[in-house]
Structure 1
Amino acid sequence: MKIGVALASLLLLAGCTAADESEPAVPKTFTNPVFLENFPDPGAVLADGIWYAYGTNNTTQNVPILTSPDLVTWTPAGDALPEVGKWAERGNTWAPEVIAGDGGYLLYYTARSTAAGRQCIGVAYAKSPAGPFVDDRAEPLICQGDEGGSIDASPYRDPDGGLYLYWKNDGNAIGRPTHLYGSRLAADGRSLTGKAVVLLTNDAPWENHVIEAPQMVRHDGKLVLFYSANAFDRDVYAMGYAECDGPLGPCRKAAENPILRSTPAAAGPGHSFLVTTPGGETWLLYHAWPPDAIGSVAPGRQLWLDRVDWPGGRPVVKGPTADPQPVPR
């Protein structure tokens, strides 16, 4: 009896194994957009296995947060910046980005300066990436009032430990050229050191009157400055990049720009943020309008995610992709 039971168990196990081997695993996939509500100008950071994404203000939050375990499934997680700095007024809180620093996390954000009447850049601090971040400064970190203001701050830490900040003067607000600036930051990330350097200017036809949303990335030893250009509320908005010799340039725009542009599925894709997964893949978070709802409040600019490959060391965005694709590793 015992031999018969054992034999039956072995046959059952063999049958299950054969069946399992005959049915190959189906990779998990996702379909864009990955967040259906309005979430413009995404920036992201990975902390303790959780992705935190930060976006431009909505009607109730200065800096809305989303969290995700996989870059695909996103959950609202409150307001990272419940109160803007004393120098600013509530509303018009744009394009936040966060980086680990000074024993916690630093949030760089854009808000309206009450003194200048222009958009300016502030910095806030928190122990956790979830916040709440606090800006205890009496004045903004950067405010180029004579150049239309300053927006879209993006921090970058070089492998040598140097900390840098990139931003755009809001020249298009006063009918002037727009530039992407860079400057070294102090070790604590709370002040600029040295002179601000112009890295790029809106001088290509596809860029029209504005370039903005800089992000410096080092990939395989090369520095790449991603940026967006043209009117954010039209389908001509798109994304390009430049190759840079150092964190403060000089930088050269790519001949193949723009590398992310509108499709029948996504209008005006841009204000991107490149992330690298623990598995070593590079993916691009960005916003885009539904083609039939450009300029809308709802659904507004939705959150998209597409893979970036690097043939010959040059970034190629596999998107906007509306078909199912494998989730990031």
Structure 2
Amino acid sequence: MTGSFTNPVYLENFPDPGVVSADGTWYAYGTNNATANVPLLTSTDLVHWTEAGDALPEVGRWAVRGNTWAPEVVRTAAGKYVLYYTARWARADRQCIGAAVSDTPYGPFTDASDEPLICQDDEGGSIDASPYTHTDGTLYLYWKNDGNHIGAPTHLYGQRLTVDGLALTGERTRLLTNDKPWQVHVIEAPQMVRHDDRLYLFYSANAFDSDAYAVGYATCQTPLGPCADAAENPILKSTPAAAGPGHSYLITLANGSNWLLYHAWPPDAVGSISPGRQLWLDPVDWVDGRPVVHGPTATPQATPGE
């Protein structure tokens, strides 16, 4: 191998990565830490990451600081960047989803709204928003109701977004529910991806702070379903090297190869504050229309693009 790396690719705590690419740089956004609402990392190769501050210095007026989770970013047709983030609703014991805007992927992103974009109060709240741009340019948003917060079922939802990405439009659709034994009480962290003209909804399930947390996927007929859960799930799960791998983000490189960026605990430190959930990166192949994740891999492997 002319260039190689060994997981994890970022040793500090960086849960729930969401990624966007611009001008040869990868931008990764993560769940809050002690100093930043939305910690930002940058990289030119997906392997070496540099800390780049707080992409969201202030949460929206509807929210309170301290529980800013699972941010993801999309670039709209107008060239703006919209960051979808989860935060604690000031009115109640609920996590809800907001949208913030910036001219650049660095930020600072600003949420000018007095109300959250999505807050399913009767279903426990709303978290883990993930945008998707379809082949016709239509924007969609996917998320999870926080049902496990109130002892209720959890579902993955999808709905169209307006062109600017700041409002929902059309019918809201329930795509998946935590009805498989391995998922137990929670299904979350959706990401819709397109490969070879087929749609795949990646997600995570089970308790995030345990070694049972894992990644699965479903195939979908349209961006709003119907979706069919894959029989071989989960496709990424714990090994002796990494515990509770999940909240993944599938990346497609210019050469067409796919890589999965995700977080995982050290096996001897599940649930710990330090080092917490570290960043891992592994290749994904497609076999008969099914994604196959080669990980968690803790031995040297070729860097992306090599």
Same fold at TM > 0.5: yes
Amino acid across the alignment from 1:96: P
Counterpart in 2 of 1:189? 165
Q: Match of 2:268?
A: 292
Aligned with 1:317 (options 278, 281, 293):
293
Between the aligned partners of 2:162 and 2:81, the Cα distance in structure 1 is 15
Q: Distance in 2 between matches of 1:117 and 1:196?
A: 24
Cross-structure match for 2:220 = 244
Find out whether 1:97 has 2:38 as its counterpart: no
Given the alignment, which residue of 48, 52, 58 partners 1:73? 48
| Local SS of the residue matching 2:288 | helix
The amino acid across from 1:109 in the alignment is: Y
CA distance in 2, matches of 1:194, 1:175: 29
- Measured on the aligned residues, the alpha-carbon RMSD in Å equals 0.6
Paired position in structure 2 for 1:88: 63
2:206 alignment partner AA = N
Matched, 1:32 2:7: yes
Q: C-alpha separation between the residues in 1 aligned to 2:270 and 2:179?
A: 26
Q: Distance in 1 between matches of 2:116 and 2:93?
A: 12
Q: What is residue 111 of structure 1 aligned with on the other side?
A: 87
Which residue in the other structure is 1:142 paired with?
118
Q: Which runs of 5+ in 1 are unaligned?
A: 1-25
**Quick one: which of 284, 303, 306 aligns to 1:327?**
303
* % identity of equivalent residues: 72
TM-score by length of 1: 0.92
Q: How does 1:115-264 map to 2 (within 5 A)?
A: 115-264=91-240
Structure 2 match to 1:11:
none
Q: Which structure carries more helix by proportion?
A: 1
Amino acid at match of 2:114: A
CA distance in 2, matches of 1:256, 1:45: 29
CA distance in 2, matches of 1:164, 1:224: 14
TM-superposed CA distance for 1:277, in Å, is 1.1
- How far apart are residue 117 of structure 1 and its match? 2.5
Q: What does 1:270-285 align with in structure 2 at a 5 Å threshold?
A: 270-285=246-261
Partner Cα separation in structure 2 for residue 174 and residue 218 of structure 1: 33
Shift of 1:281: 0.8
Pairwise mapping of residues 11-26 of structure 1 onto structure 2 (< 5 A)? 26=1
| 1:19 aligned residue | none
State the Cα distance separating 1:280 from its structure 2 match: 1.4
* Selected match of 1:48 from 4, 23, 28: 23
Q: State the one-letter code of the partner of 2:107.
A: G
Q: 1:176-223 CA deviation, whole Å, 9 max, x = no partner?
A: 000000000011110000121100000000000000000000001000
Structure 2: which 5+ runs fail to align? none
Q: What is the aligned length?
A: 304
Deviation, structure 1 residue 169: 0.1
Q: Verify: 1:63 aligned to 2:38, yes or no.
A: yes
Q: CA deviation at 1:103?
A: 2.4
Please tell me whether residue 305 in structure 1 is matched to residue 281 in structure 2: yes
Residue type matched to 2:9 in 1?
V
How far did residue 225 of structure 1 move? 0.1
Opposite residue 72 of structure 1, the aligned amino acid is V
CA distance in 2, matches of 1:242, 1:327: 28
Higher Rg of the two aligned structures: 1
Distance across 2 between alignment mates of 1:29 and 1:232: 29
